[in-house]
Structure 1
Amino acid sequence: MSKHKIEFNVEVRPRTGTGGAREARRQGFVPGVLYGGDLAPVAINLRKPEVKKAIETGQFLNTTATLIHKGEKQLVIPQGIQMHPVTDQPWHVDLFRVEKDQIIKVEVPVHFKGLEACPGIKKGGTLNVVRHTVEINVPAGHIPEHLEADISALEVGDNVKISNVKLPKDASPVIGDRDFTIATIAGRGGKTEEEPAAAAAADAVPAAKAAAPKAGAAAAAPAKAAPAKPAPKK
């Protein structure tokens, strides 16, 4: 799970629309909308320092946060943030209600370990990263901070596939119809920096061929949380 615990102490915004949002900003808040689940959208105010701190974690849109209102807590996942085009200050936030066991789709960064021990790199090869992040289906309460790929035993020409990466319990890759490439160990003379794109294209070929016969299997894939569209901002 993420080491960054994001919490927002929020207030319900009494005035909606443009006027209410402007008033919230004058008072030092960031206006937002909370939606999703079986409840109606709610206009809320978030404290700007808490929003800025959450953004600085670098994981604002890829992890859950907890809203606190009058002692009650609600787990949410940020769906979007608008920044002021001139001041680059947070301007508006959209938050989606979730439950900790609810399966949601998130992008998680991939970290590589074993670079110093990698025999392929010792022989002059380079690590070419095809995917810096991987989309996974995971319970909202168990989103990992990152995925880890070990390259300590790879030679020149070897690949890191998604099957080589240990996923958290109850998590699965969104791309489930092939063992896609995450990185390669490229040789000094043969393969170039264009390899990541070529590898990604190669991954796509078997997927296209398998699309028709595997249509039934797609229907049986784990359900994804499909966030409702945000309520129009006023």
Structure 2
Amino acid sequence: MSDTLNLSAETRERVGKGASRALRREGRVPAVIYGNKQEPLSIHLEERALNKLLGTGHFMNSIVMIEGAGRGKIRTLPKDVTFDPVTDRPVHVDFLRIAKNATVTVAVPFLFTDEEEAPGIKKGGVLNIVAHELEVTVEADKIPENIEVSLKGLEVGDTIHLSAINLPGDAESTQDDDFVVATIIAPSAMKADVQEALAEDAALAEAAAAEQQAEEEAAEAEAAEEAAEDEGDAEEGENKGE
């Protein structure tokens, strides 16, 4: 289960682009808390503290307790972080206010394990990750930090579907069981062999098609020649009759 994170905040006295720019110059990040049938609350956070939590790698699927906004501790779930396209600094955060026993939908990252027990990888195969995270519905207090996916026993060409993964706790996926999570693909050398074999098959198929076409053309020519001979014989017969 993900750890509960804590952030100190202050209520924003003013809102708008000008006020937000002023806050960012002071090392603060504007944010808003909404949801749970309450009025939105405009706040601002210390950028360094926010960056520290962003660096944990599980900020977006953790409960964040926000305190210091004048209403005691507020239980939230991060919903969106906007970054500056040039500096990559966080410029705004949206938090969803949630009740203690609320059910939430969050994206939880996959954690791939047991690579050393995957024969396909030992042979040089490569893990091709199709999905890096899975959207699940779960109680807010039971959000998993990650979802483990074992590679044990997998060979080159094997595909991992969601149906083969045990979701932690009471988490329920929003995806179908046939959702593809990852595959074990052939290494470059094996790919080259496959491509060479495909090229050989294509060449053989092309040669067979050309041979068949030649045979058909020869048959048509022979049929045309026989038809011409039959027509000549018929004309000769008519001439003799006259």
Gaps (5+ residues) in structure 2? Answer: 194-242
| Other structure's SS at 2:7 match | strand
Match of 2:90 in 1: 90
| Other structure's SS at 1:182 match | strand
Match of 1:65 in 2: 64
Aligned-residue RMSD, C-alpha: 2.4
Separation in 1, partners of 2:86, 2:181:
37
Match of 1:51 in 2: 50
Separation in 2, partners of 1:22, 1:131:
36
- Asked whether the equivalents of residues 161 and 182 of structure 1 are also in contact (C-alpha less than 8 Å), the reply is yes
Query: By how many angstroms is 1:148 displaced?
Result: 0.6
Aligned length: 190
Match of 2:13 in 1: 14
Output aligned runs, 1:62-141, within 5 Å.
62-69=61-68, 72-141=72-141
Seen in structure 2, the aligned counterparts of structure 1 residues 22 and 183 have a Cα distance that, compared at 3 Å, is closer
Identity rate of aligned residues, in percent?
39
Match of 1:219 in 2: none
Query: By how many angstroms is 1:107 displaced?
Result: 1.5
Seen in structure 2, the aligned counterparts of structure 1 residues 191 and 74 have a Cα distance that, compared at 3 Å, is farther
Separation in 2, partners of 1:82, 1:129:
26
Per-residue Cα deviation, 1:200-226 (whole angstroms, up to 9, x for no partner): xxxxxxxxxxxxxxxxxxxxxxxxxxx
- Asked whether the equivalents of residues 7 and 65 of structure 1 are also in contact (C-alpha less than 8 Å), the reply is yes
Match of 2:203 in 1: none
Output aligned runs, 1:69-218, within 5 Å.
69=68, 72-176=72-176, 178-188=177-187, 189=190
- Asked whether the equivalents of residues 36 and 99 of structure 2 are also in contact (C-alpha less than 8 Å), the reply is no
| Other structure's SS at 2:117 match | coil
Match of 2:231 in 1: none
Separation in 2, partners of 1:88, 1:32:
17
Query: By how many angstroms is 1:190 displaced?
Result: 6.0
Per-residue Cα deviation, 1:95-129 (whole angstroms, up to 9, x for no partner): 11112422222211111111112122223333222
Q: Which AA in structure 2 matches 1:37?
A: N
Q: Which AA in structure 1 matches 2:10?
A: E
More helix by share: 2
- Asked whether the equivalents of residues 102 and 139 of structure 1 are also in contact (C-alpha less than 8 Å), the reply is yes
Seen in structure 2, the aligned counterparts of structure 1 residues 148 and 42 have a Cα distance that, compared at 3 Å, is same
Separation in 1, partners of 2:156, 2:26:
58
- Asked whether the equivalents of residues 105 and 135 of structure 1 are also in contact (C-alpha less than 8 Å), the reply is yes
Separation in 1, partners of 2:122, 2:159:
16
Seen in structure 2, the aligned counterparts of structure 1 residues 53 and 191 have a Cα distance that, compared at 3 Å, is farther
- Asked whether the equivalents of residues 31 and 44 of structure 1 are also in contact (C-alpha less than 8 Å), the reply is yes
Gaps (5+ residues) in structure 1? Answer: 193-234
Calculate the TM-score normalised by the size of structure 2: 0.69
For the pair shown, the structure with the greater C-alpha radius of gyration is 2
Per-residue Cα deviation, 1:12-70 (whole angstroms, up to 9, x for no partner): 11222234323433443211111111110111111121111122122333333111125
Q: Which AA in structure 1 matches 2:43?
A: I
| Other structure's SS at 2:99 match | coil
Query: Relative contact order, CA 8 A, sep 6+: which one is greater?
Result: 1
Separation in 2, partners of 1:66, 1:191:
53
Separation in 1, partners of 2:21, 2:123:
60
